[in-house]
Amino acid sequence: MGSDAESAVDAQFELLLEQGLQIKNAYDSEQAVKPTHISVIRDWVNRALDLIEPVMPPDDAQFDAIRQIGQAYSNVTSILPGNTSDHIRTVYMVLTTAHAHFRAWCRRDFSQIDPSTRAQACHASLDEACRFSRESLLPLLVGKEDGRTKRTALLHSYGRMYCWVHSMVKLGNGNEGEVPIAEHAAVLGGCLRAILELFLDISLLKWETIEQGPEKFFSFEKVARHEFAKSSMDLDKEYKHLESQLRGTYQEAASRSQEIDDCIVRLWGVVKNGRNKGQPNRPKHWTGMTVIDRVKNLGSDFVRYYQHTYHYCNWTIHSGYLGSIIRTEEVASSFCALAYAFANDMFLRATKHMIEECDDLLDANGLKKQLDRTVLRGTRVLWDAVIRGAH
């Protein structure tokens, strides 16, 4: 499987197929149906349909029949329908087919799908993930900050990540309308770079790989504000560009140099070599590391995200980098597909991190199952192009 989410869904298929075979064999052996058996059959049918419904193409011949079976078992408590044996066989057969479709999708070479369709499908997946976060997770996390802690740092970082994802989704809503996809490819690159860096932050915080991570995270704000005020005052000495009231504000902030230096030395140490040896080691990021060092700290899995997104995103931002990256509609669509796909992968992983981190505040298992279904719903746009093209 290509991702943690896909592996989790595949494991659910395997488990339900194994349970379905046991139920089918027991029912075929004409064992007495007890109330406990009724709840087992009902729960298995409903859980199987949760996987089948988003995976099967809507125009599949069996789709309507499956939905009707789902309605028949949604509220069963004491009496099973008379044709339960046929229903079990049908659900098991369709579950097997849906599993094959899902695995075919996981194996498919997306580069063979036309770029515009691929971009629309990846946008649909990101839209589903964003909707899940907005409707099912974020409302449960509002107001759950608990001081200068790891949880609060994660909540702040995830909230910012959601804002960037939401922007990408909103921007992409014009794919089939009046906004040509090539015109916003560069903007998506800027969004993706922000999402990548926030994903690194969230991962570093979750796994606590940075010593005194939360304290550095919150202290970095005043360090950065001081640096901004100091550089503005240095410019003002030469260009006198600040209004008097603003100059006073910046001057007051810049005057706190000793306090800031003490904070830097306490958390980030001093420069060990070179011309500034012994001076406060002024951080450019709360971790005190460059982007590539953050990636290396997290391991090879994160190198993939860096390799396939970071420099492409820079090319869409910095003057002189752009070259031919969005000169044609086809290349622009391919880039948009890449941006949506990687943003979705990182956002899903960050969302799972948040569910795990806040499991004392919410139903973690229920939300993870709902998230798995969200992943499947996001694949709908690709079924005709991918599944049928694979046979």
Res 79: pLDDT: 65
- Domain of residue 228 covers 213-268
Per-residue burial over 8-28, b = 16 or more CB atoms within 10 Å of its CB, e = otherwise: bbeebbeebbebbeebbeebe
Report if residue 279 sits inside a domain.
Answer: no
Say whether pLDDT at 33 is over 70: no
By the 8 A CB rule, do 292 and 220 touch? Answer: no
By the 8 A CB rule, do 186 and 333 touch? Answer: no
Query: Of all residues in the chain, what percent carry a pLDDT higher than 70?
Result: 83
Report if residue 47 sits inside a domain.
Answer: yes
Report if residue 124 sits inside a domain.
Answer: yes
Q: Name the nearest CA neighbour of 55 among 12, 21, 117.
A: 12
Per the listing, tokens 């479709």 go with 101
| Average pLDDT, integer, range 311-332 | 74
Res 77: pLDDT: 61
**How big is the chain, counted in residues?**
391
Q: 200 and 292: one domain?
A: yes
Res 391: pLDDT: 43
> End of a domain among 107, 126, 152?
107
- Prediction pTM value: 0.81
- Poorest-confidence range of 55-64, 173-182, 209-218, 312-321? 173-182
Q: 196 and 217: one domain?
A: no
Res 390: pLDDT: 46
Q: 293 and 374: one domain?
A: yes
Q: 173 and 319: one domain?
A: yes
For the chain, what is the mean pLDDT?
A: 85
For residue 174, what pLDDT band results from cuts at 50, 70 and 90? low
Per-residue burial over 72-97, b = 16 or more CB atoms within 10 Å of its CB, e = otherwise: bbeebeeebeeebeebbebbbebbee
Q: 177 and 201: one domain?
A: yes
Say whether pLDDT at 287 is over 90: yes
Report if residue 125 sits inside a domain.
Answer: yes
Res 384: pLDDT: 53
Q: 204 and 232: one domain?
A: no
Q: 190 and 229: one domain?
A: no
- Poorest-confidence range of 20-29, 321-330, 356-365? 321-330
More confident residue, 294 or 87: 294
d(CA 143, CA 47): 33
Q: 148 and 132: one domain?
A: yes
Res 313: pLDDT: 85
d(CA 330, CA 171): 18
Q: 188 and 328: one domain?
A: yes
Say whether pLDDT at 58 is over 70: no
| Average pLDDT, integer, range 159-163 | 98
Say whether pLDDT at 65 is over 90: no
Res 317: pLDDT: 79
